C-alpha cells in the first residue's frame, strides 16, 4: 500500500468492521462507541491481537454531540491526523433496528434511525476523503425508508461526494451466512474530478468502475443453486457425512472446526436451556423456517446471525443454543478473536449479531484500496 490512510471508526461495536480494515492495511486512528460493554470488548480484542492503541484514542461520546458544533475536539483531531496521513476515512454502521423489517421499523424518526442521519451530517461537516456507510437491506429496499436513504445520498452529494453502492451478501465473501446489507461508499470530488469523473452528472460513480466484484469468491446465484442439504432428524451428537457438490468452506461445521470452537475462550458462553429444552429436541437439524428456534444444519450456511428479539439459533447436533464461540465463527472472525469473560451473555450475542462479518469487511476494505491504486492513483 503506497498511501497512509487513517480511519475514524463510528458505531464501532466490538470492532469486526475495523479489524477487516486494519488487517487490509488501513490504520485505525479513532474509535467511537457509546455503549461501554462493547467498547470494553473492542479494547479487549485489541489486546488479544496485540494491536496498538488507536492514535487518537477511544470515545464514548454520542455522535449527535459531534455534529452540534463544528468546532469540536473531533475537528481538531482530524486536522492533526491530516498532517501525518495521505487520506482520512470514516467507517461506520449506525444501529439499524428502525430500518429492519424484523425490528422496530420506525424509520428515520426512531431513536436509532436518527443516528444514521447524524453520521451522514458528521461526514458532511468533517469532510473525510472517503466514507463507508453500512446498514440493513430494509433501508435500501423498503419504500418507506428508501426515500430517507436517497435524501442522505443527496445531502452527501451536495456536501462534495460521489458515491457507489451495493447490496452485498456476506456469503459472497466466504462468510458461512446468508446476510444481506447495503454498503454505501463515497469519495470527495477532488479525488475524482481530475481522473475524468463528472461531478455534475449526478451523485453516482458510473457502474462497473468500482471493483465490487474483485474480492468476492462466490456469486449469489451460484451459491444458492448448490444442492444444499435441507433437514435431517435431530439426534444429539450425531454424525452426518459431508455431502458432495457443495462448497465446504461455506458450511457451519467447517467454521466450527476451523475456529476450534470447543476449545475457544467463549466455548461455554451460551444460554442454558430451561423450559425450552424439550422443544429444542423436536426441531430437525436444518429447520430454520420459523422466526425462533432455528436449528442450523452443520453442512449448510447459517441464516443471518441475529440473536435478539427472541430469535433463538440452535446448535446443529447439541441440545442448546449456539455458543458465543460458534456465533463468532459464523461471523467469520479469526480463531483468536474472543470476547471478555465478564461480558454478559446478552451483550455478547448482541454485539456479535450487530457486527459486520469480518471477511465481508476485509473484502470491502480491499476493494477500496484497489480503487485508489487502479483508478485514482497518485493525486
Q: What is the pLDDT of residues 323-367, one digit of tens each?
A: 999 999 999 999 999 999 999 999 999 999 999 999 999 999 999
Identify whether 310 is part of a domain.
no
- 96 catalytic? Reply is yes
Contact, 34 vs 62, CB < 8 A? Answer: yes
Confidence band, pLDDT 50/70/90 cuts, at residue 253: very high
User: How many distinct structural domains can be found in the chain?
Assistant: 1
Contact, 58 vs 39, CB < 8 A? Answer: yes
Residue 105 has pLDDT above 90, yes or no: no
Average per-residue pLDDT in the chain?
91
Catalytic pick from 96, 171, 184, 356? 96
Identify whether 372 is part of a domain.
yes
Return the pLDDT at 186.
Answer: 97
Return the pLDDT at 304.
Answer: 95
Q: Which domain holds residue 49?
A: 5-219+358-376
10 three-class SS: strand
Q: Which residue has the cell 491504486?
A: 373
Summarize pLDDT for 278-321 with one digit per residue, the tens: 889 999 999 999 988 999 999 999 999 988 767 899 999 999 99
Return the pLDDT at 106.
Answer: 61
Return the pLDDT at 123.
Answer: 97
Other CB atoms closer than 10 Å to residue 199's CB: what's the count? 15
Comparison of pLDDT for 71 and 224, the residue scoring more: 224
Instruction: Tell me, rounded to whole angstroms, the distance of Cα 239 from its chain centroid.
Output: 32
Identify whether 258 is part of a domain.
no
Comparison of pLDDT for 267 and 144, the residue scoring more: 267
Query: Which whole number is the average pLDDT over 21-26?
Result: 97
Query: Which whole number is the average pLDDT over 161-187?
Result: 97
* Helices and strands: H and E segment counts in the chain: 14, 9
Query: Which whole number is the average pLDDT over 46-54?
Result: 94
118 three-class SS: helix
Each as own residue / partner, the long-range contacts of residues 367-372 (CB below 8 Å, 24 or more positions apart, any chain) are 367/210, 367/211, 367/212, 367/214, 367/215, 368/89, 368/130, 368/132, 368/185, 369/1, 369/24, 369/25, 370/211, 370/214, 370/215, 371/187, 371/210, 371/211, 372/3, 372/87
Residues 6+ apart with CB under 8 A from 365: 20, 21, 24, 25, 26
Cα distances (Å, whole numbers) of residue 328 to 86, 159, 355: 34, 37, 10
Name the DSSP class of 376: I
Return the pLDDT at 111.
Answer: 62
Q: C-alpha cell of 166? A: 451495493
Contact, 118 vs 75, CB < 8 A? Answer: no
Q: C-alpha cell of 274? A: 430451561
Contact, 137 vs 180, CB < 8 A? Answer: yes
**How many Å is the maximal CA-CA distance in the chain?**
66
Identify whether 213 is part of a domain.
yes
Contact, 296 vs 302, CB < 8 A? Answer: yes
Main-chain phi, psi angles of 164, to 5 degrees: -135, 145
Identify whether 159 is part of a domain.
yes
Query: Which whole number is the average pLDDT over 39-56?
Result: 96
Return the pLDDT at 260.
Answer: 98
Summarize pLDDT for 113-140 with one digit per residue, the tens: 789 999 999 999 999 999 999 999 989 8
Return the pLDDT at 292.
Answer: 87
> Which CATH number goes with the domain that contains 185?
3.40.50.150
Residue 243 has pLDDT above 70, yes or no: yes
Summarize pLDDT for 259-281 with one digit per residue, the tens: 999 999 999 999 987 766 888 99
Contact, 136 vs 93, CB < 8 A? Answer: no
Identify whether 262 is part of a domain.
no
Residue 109 has pLDDT above 60, yes or no: no
Residue 211 has pLDDT above 60, yes or no: yes
Identify whether 246 is part of a domain.
no
Q: C-alpha cell of 347? A: 451483550
Identify whether 48 is part of a domain.
yes
Query: Which whole number is the average pLDDT over 57-69?
Result: 89
Query: Which whole number is the average pLDDT over 188-192?
Result: 91
Residue 208, Ramachandran bin (φ over 0: left; ψ between -120 and 50: alpha; else beta): left
Query: Which whole number is the average pLDDT over 72-94?
Result: 92
Pairing mode of beta strands 87-92, 27-32: unpaired
Residue 1 has pLDDT above 50, yes or no: no
Residue 96 has pLDDT above 70, yes or no: no
HEC assignment per residue over 174-188: CCCECCEEEEEEEEE
285 three-class SS: strand
Q: C-alpha cell of 27? A: 490504520
Cα distances (Å, whole numbers) of residue 335 to 45, 178, 209, 214: 12, 21, 34, 25
Please list the residues that pair with 161 across neighbouring strands.
188
Contact, 208 vs 164, CB < 8 A? Answer: no
Residue 199 has pLDDT above 90, yes or no: no
Amino acid at each position: 500500500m503506497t498511501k497512509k490512510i487513517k480511519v475514524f471508526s463510528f458505531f464501532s461495536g466490538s470492532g469486526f468492521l475495523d479489524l477487516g480494515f486494519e488487517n487490509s492495511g488501513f490504520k485505525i486512528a479513532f474509535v467511537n462507541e457509546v455503549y461501554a460493554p462493547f467498547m470494553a470488548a473492542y479494547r479487549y480484542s485489541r489486546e488479544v491481537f496485540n494491536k496498538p492503541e488507536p492514535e487518537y484514542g477511544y470515545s464514548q461520546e454520542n455522535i449527535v454531540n459531534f455534529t452540534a458544533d463544528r468546532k469540536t475536539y473531533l475537528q481538531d483531531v482530524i486536522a492533526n491526523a491530516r498532517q501525518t496521513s495521505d487520506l482520512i476515512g470514516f467507517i461506520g454502521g449506525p444501529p439499524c433496528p428502525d430500518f429492519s423489517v424484523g425490528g422496530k421499523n420506525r424509520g428515520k424518526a426512531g431513536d436509532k434511525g436518527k443516528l444514521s442521519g447524524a453520521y451522514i451530517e458528521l461526514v458532511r461537516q468533517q469532510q473525510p476523503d472517503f466514507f463507508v456507510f453500512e446498514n440493513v437491506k430494509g433501508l435500501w429496499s423498503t419504500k418507506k425508508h428508501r426515500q430517507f436513504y436517497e435524501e442522505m445520498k443527496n445531502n452527501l452529494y451536495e456536501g462534495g461526494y460521489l458515491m457507489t453502492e451495493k447490496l452485498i451478501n456476506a456469503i459472497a465473501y466466504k462468510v458461512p451466512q446468508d446476510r444481506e446489507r447495503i454498503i454505501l461508499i463515497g469519495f470527495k470530488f477532488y479525488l475524482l474530478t481530475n481522473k475524468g469523473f463528472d461531478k455534475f452528472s449526478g451523485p453516482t460513480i458510473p457502474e462497473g468502475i468500482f471493483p465490487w466484484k474483485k474480492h468476492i469468491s462466490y456469486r449469489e446465484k451460484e451459491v444458492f443453486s448448490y444442492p444444499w442439504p435441507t433437514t435431517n432428524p435431530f439426534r444429539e451428537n450425531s454424525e452426518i457425512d459431508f455431502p458432495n457438490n457443495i462448497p465446504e468452506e461455506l458450511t457451519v461445521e467447517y467454521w466450527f472446526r476451523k475456529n476450534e470452537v470447543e476449545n475457544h475462550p467463549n466455548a461455554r458462553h451460551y444460554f442454558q436451556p430451561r423450559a425450552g429444552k424439550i422443544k429444542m429436541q423436536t426441531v430437525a437439524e436444518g429447520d430454520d423456517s420459523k422466526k425462533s428456534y432455528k436449528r442450523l444444519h452443520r453442512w449448510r450456511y447459517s441464516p443471518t446471525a441475529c440473536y435478539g428479539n427472541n430469535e433463538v439459533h440452535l446448535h446443529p447436533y447439541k441440545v442448546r443454543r449456539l455458543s458465543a464461540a460458534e456465533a463468532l465463527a459464523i461471523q467469520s472472525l479469526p480463531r483468536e478473536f474472543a470476547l471478555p469473560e465478564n461480558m454478559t451473555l446478552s451483550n455478547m450475542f448482541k454485539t456479535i449479531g450487530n457486527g459486520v462479518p469480518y471477511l465481508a469487511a476485509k473484502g470491502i476494505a480491499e476493494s477500496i484500496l484497489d480503487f485508489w491504486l487502479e483508478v485514482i492513483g497518485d493525486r
